[in-house]
A and B are shown apart, each in its own frame.
Chain A
Amino acid sequence: MGFDMSIFLTQIPNVILLGCTYTLIAIGFSLFFGVLDVVVFCSGDIAVFGAFGVLGSYAIISTTGLADLPTGIMLVALMIIAAVLCAFLGVLTYYVSIKPFEKSSTLMPLLSTIALGIVLREGIGIFYPTGRNPQSFPELIPSGTFFSTDLFNLTYKNLFVFVVTVVMVLLLLLFLNKTRMGSSMRAVSQNKELAMMSGVNIRRTIVFTFILGGILLSIAGTLIGVHYGTMRVDWGSTFGIKGYSAAVVGGLRSTNGAIIGGMLFALIEVIVTCTNYAVFATPAAFVVVILFILLKPEGIIGEKSIEKV
Chain B
Amino acid sequence: MKKRLLLLAMCLVLSMGLMAGCGDDSSSSSSTSGDSTVSSSTDSSSDIPEGTVVKVGFIAPITGSNAAEGTAAANAFQMVFDELNAAGTLGYEVEVVVMDDASTAESAASAAQYLTADSDVIAISGHWNSGCAEATIPICIKAEIPLMIWGAIGDTLTSEANYPYVTRVAPTSAQENEPTVANVYELGYRNFYIVSDTTSYGTQNTATFTAEVANYSDATILGTDEVVIGTIDFSAIVAKIAASGADAVYFGGVSTEAGLLKKQMVAAGLDDVVLFGISGIASSDFVTAAGVDAAEGTISNMPGVDPTTTTLGQEFIAAYAAAGFSEPIGAFTPYAYDSAVMLIAALESIDGVPTAELMIDAIANAEGEGLLGTTTFDEIGQTTNPASYMVVCENGEWVAYSESSYAN
Contact = CB atoms under 8 A, between A and B. Distances in A.
Interface residues of A, number: 57
Contacts of B256: 134, 230, 232
Contacts of B160: none
Interface string A265-302: 00001100110001101100010011001000100000
A7 B236 contact: yes
A128 to B, nearest CB: 13
B288 A14 contact: no
A106 B7 CA distance: 9
B73 to A, nearest CB: 15
Interface in A214-248: 228-230, 232, 234-235, 237-238, 240-241, 244-245, 248
B246 to A, nearest CB: 14
Contacts of A304: 1
A155 interface: yes
B18 interface: yes
A270 B236 contact: yes
A6 B1 contact: no
A193 interface: no
A121 B23 contact: yes
A11 B263 contact: no
Contacts of B232: 228, 235, 238
Contacts of A18: 233, 235
B236 A132 contact: no
B9 A7 contact: no
A39 B8 CA distance: 9
A14 B65 contact: no
A248 B64 CA distance: 30
B5 to A, nearest CB: 5
A136 B291 contact: yes
A210 interface: no
B214 interface: no
Contact of B67 (A39, A106, A132, A286): A132
Nearest to A307: B1
Interface in A98-157: 106-107, 110, 114, 117-118, 121-122, 125, 130, 132-136, 139, 153, 155
A125 to B, nearest CB: 7
Question: Which of B3, B8, B64 lies at the interface centre, i.e. has the most chain A CB atoms within 10 A of its CB?
Answer: B8
Interface string A139-178: 1000000000000010100000000000000000000000
12 contacts: A10-B239, A14-B233, A41-B14, A110-B11, A118-B23, A130-B326, A228-B263, A232-B256, A234-B65, A241-B19, A282-B228, A307-B1
Interface of B: 1, 3-5, 7-12, 14-16, 18-19, 22-24, 63-65, 67-68, 198, 225-228, 230-233, 235-237, 239-240, 243, 256, 259-260, 263, 267-269, 285, 288-289, 291, 326
In the A-B complex, the 5 residue pairs with the smallest Cβ-Cβ separation, listed nearest first, are A273-B236, A279-B226, A14-B235, A241-B15, A134-B289
